[in-house]
Amino acid sequence: MSTPPDRGLDLLSTLTRRVLFAPLADPGRAETVAERLRTAISLGILAENEQLPPEADLAAQFNISPVTLREALNELRSAGLVTTRRGRGGGTVVSGPLPDQENASVEQVSALSSVDLRDLADWRRTIATESARLAARRASERDIALLERGVGNAEMSLSAVQARRADSRFFIELAAASQSARLSRAAIRLQVDYAPILTLVYTDKVTRRGAAAILRTLTTAVREGQVEHAGRAAAQAVDLVAARAAMLHAQGWETS
């Protein structure tokens, strides 16, 4: 007895991926598909050397024609993001060198208006605050150990990308500690939308350190079961990042 190989399902095995690979609502355009794949690769959600599902499966997943998908893959291929081998055991593979995450992030956020940024920050604050409050009531010792490890990673991060990864994982683990499956799913979806903003905000070392210090306070409040305190610290962490993002937006995302 053997189950069939399911490379297509593999790709969608985590929610982050299901968000990025959600079927396109409108008749799919190659540029939109290429953009989604580029985001997945530049965020490291599709890792280097990872094989994409067979073209037919991927086209079906996006709800586009195989011709449109091939067009999108051609675009990525000429950008050097994927390579395709023909024949048995062949397929499309994510190839290096990966794009510079800061440049990719600027491209992704430059279309955002200040109203979009405010809206994202409001939603992020809502999820983070309620996650923190519920986590203070419900977190297990294991949840708290994971949060403490996450804070350690945030404190030790030496680059914008490391800091973004530590921050994203911290807030997803915080949502998990709330034990709410819906909050967790919302936190994971938000990670995808907010990742480029976080990357740019965390190019600044002072902001990285400031945010990590707040996450430390937040973790302590969760451990001690201080519901209000945890909620306030979460809002503070979100607002620190949002304020920096608003400033960068006003400066045309010049991070240097």
Partner 1 sequence: MTTPSSRSDRLRALDGAASAILALTAPVFAHLRHMTEAARTMRLAEATATGLLPASDLALLERVSVEAIKGAELITGAGMAAISAQHPDAGVMNWWILRGSDVTSKRHILNPHSDSYYDFSHSRWFQVPTDRGAPTLIAPYVDSWGTDDLTITAAIPLSVDSFGITTILAADLDARAYVRAVEEILRPAAPAALVDSENRAVASTIPEMETGVRLSTVQSWTVDHRVELVELGWSLALMAT
Which stretches of the chain bind partner 1, using CB under 8 A? Answer: 1-6, 9-10, 13-17, 43-48, 50, 137-138, 140-143, 146, 149, 165, 168, 172-173, 175-181, 184-185, 188, 191, 195, 225, 227
Nearest to partner 1 of 1, 111 (CB atom): 1
CB of 189 to partner 1, least distance (A): 11
CB of 125 to partner 1, least distance (A): 20
CB of 55 to partner 1, least distance (A): 19
Nearest to partner 1 of 21, 253 (CB atom): 21
Nearest to partner 1 of 82, 177 (CB atom): 177
* C-alpha gyration radius of the chain: 19
Cβ neighbours around 22 below 10 Å, total: 14
Nearest to partner 1 of 64, 151 (CB atom): 151
CB of 138 to partner 1, least distance (A): 4
Q: Could you report how far apart the first and last alpha carbons of the chain are, in Å?
A: 58
d(CA 243, CA 127) in angstroms, rounded, equals 18
d(CA 78, CA 135) in angstroms, rounded, equals 46
Nearest to partner 1 of 136, 248 (CB atom): 136
CB of 114 to partner 1, least distance (A): 26
Place of tokens 């290096």: 96
Pick from 59, 45, 18: nearest CA to 104: 45
Which tokens go with 136? 């203070």
Nearest to partner 1 of 165, 249 (CB atom): 165
Strands (E), the chain: 82-85, 91-94
Which tokens go with 235? 């809002």
d(CA 224, CA 20) in angstroms, rounded, equals 36
CB of 59 to partner 1, least distance (A): 20
Place of tokens 């480029």: 196
